[in-house]
């Protein structure tokens, strides 16, 4: 009975996701309400830390003025997105603010095969579904220092209408309630401090025995 349970769990992970517990790679899932500053942080981290890959999501949202297709997102139509759902292309996908967002299964597989570390940016629905599919992944939630600060950042971004900002703030308040489900919580007050905290987490996670590239051969 126990063997059957273990087998079914293994098959489950294999079909639905990837078990990272004994993988060399680290996989970080980062969630934050829209406007907290995830993109800036991600760009700094990927430029400063080697061997990190950022999983570029697919979305049906239109690109913002400063966004580049294939760098920030793969911008696709709803029809193409639905087709990809049908082909089981996504490791997870969710509807956020009236648009669809999804993570490519093949990208994660390839990065793990190349022993790269990975950053994923997903909303709380995506993070919840990945908790089951990616045992051993590290979940980080980024929060704004205050609601006023978040509202100001959304306004200053000048990419969303007043209605969209209102909608994003309502979603943000719902999302923040899930922060205790994550392994780490970072308040993005000062950018340098946030980057230092991310780097400290990465360093600590790299020191877990399963991640240290060290052979005990010849020691005992």
Q: Is 121 near ligand 5GP (CB under 6 A)? A: yes
Smaller CB distance to ligand 5GP: residue 41 or 121? 121
Strand positions, DSSP E, the chain: 27-31, 52-54, 58-59, 74-75, 90-96, 99-104, 117-121, 138-143, 184-187
Distance of alpha carbon 189 from alpha carbon 177, whole angstroms: 19
From candidates 25, 34, 117, 188, binder to ligand 5GP by CB under 6 A: 34
From candidates 61, 84, 105, 116, binder to ligand 5GP by CB under 6 A: 61
Q: Is 144 near ligand 5GP (CB under 6 A)? A: no
From candidates 125, 153, 187, 211, binder to ligand 5GP by CB under 6 A: 125
Q: Is 57 near ligand 5GP (CB under 6 A)? A: yes
Q: Is 96 near ligand 5GP (CB under 6 A)? A: yes
Q: Is 103 near ligand 5GP (CB under 6 A)? A: yes
Distance of alpha carbon 41 from alpha carbon 37, whole angstroms: 6
Q: Is 154 near ligand 5GP (CB under 6 A)? A: no
For the chain, how are helix, strand and coil distributed in percent, rounded to 5? Answer: 45, 20, 35
Those residues whose C-beta lies under 8 Å from the C-beta of residue 169, and which sit 6 or more positions away, are: 147, 150, 151, 154
> Could you tell me if 25 and 134 are in contact, meaning their C-beta atoms sit under 8 angstroms apart?
no
Smaller CB distance to ligand 5GP: residue 9 or 95? 95
Q: Is 188 near ligand 5GP (CB under 6 A)? A: no
Distance of alpha carbon 89 from alpha carbon 102, whole angstroms: 9
Binding site for ligand 5GP (CB under 6 A): 31, 34, 57, 61, 92, 94, 96-97, 101-103, 121-123, 125-126
């Amino acid at each position: 009975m126990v063997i059957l349970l273990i087998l079914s769990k293994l098959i489950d992970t294999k079909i639905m996701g990837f078990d990272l517990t004994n993988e060399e790679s680290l996989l970080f899932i980062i969630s934050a309400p829209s406007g907290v500053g995830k993109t800036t942080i991600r760009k700094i981290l990927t430029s400063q830390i080697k061997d990190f890959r950022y999983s570029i999501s697919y979305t049906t949202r239109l690109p913002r003025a400063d966004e580049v297709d294939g760098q920030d997102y793969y911008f696709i139509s709803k029809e193409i997105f639905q087709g990809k759902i049908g082909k089981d292309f996504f490791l997870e996908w969710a509807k956020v603010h009236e648009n669809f967002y999804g993570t490519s299964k093949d990208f994660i597989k390839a990065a793990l095969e190349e022993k790269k570390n990975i950053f994923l940016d997903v909303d709380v629905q995506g993070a919840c579904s990945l908790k089951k599919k990616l045992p051993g992944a590290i979940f980080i939630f980024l929060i704004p220092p205050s609601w006023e600060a978040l509202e100001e950042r959304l306004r200053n971004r000048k990419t969303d209408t007043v209605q969209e900002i209102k909608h994003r703030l309502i979603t943000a308040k719902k999302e923040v309630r899930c922060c205790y489900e994550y392994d780490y919580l970072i308040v993005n007050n000062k950018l340098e401090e946030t980057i230092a905290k991310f780097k400290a987490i990465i360093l600590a996670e790299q020191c877990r025995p399963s991640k240290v590239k060290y052979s005990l051969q010849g020691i005992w």
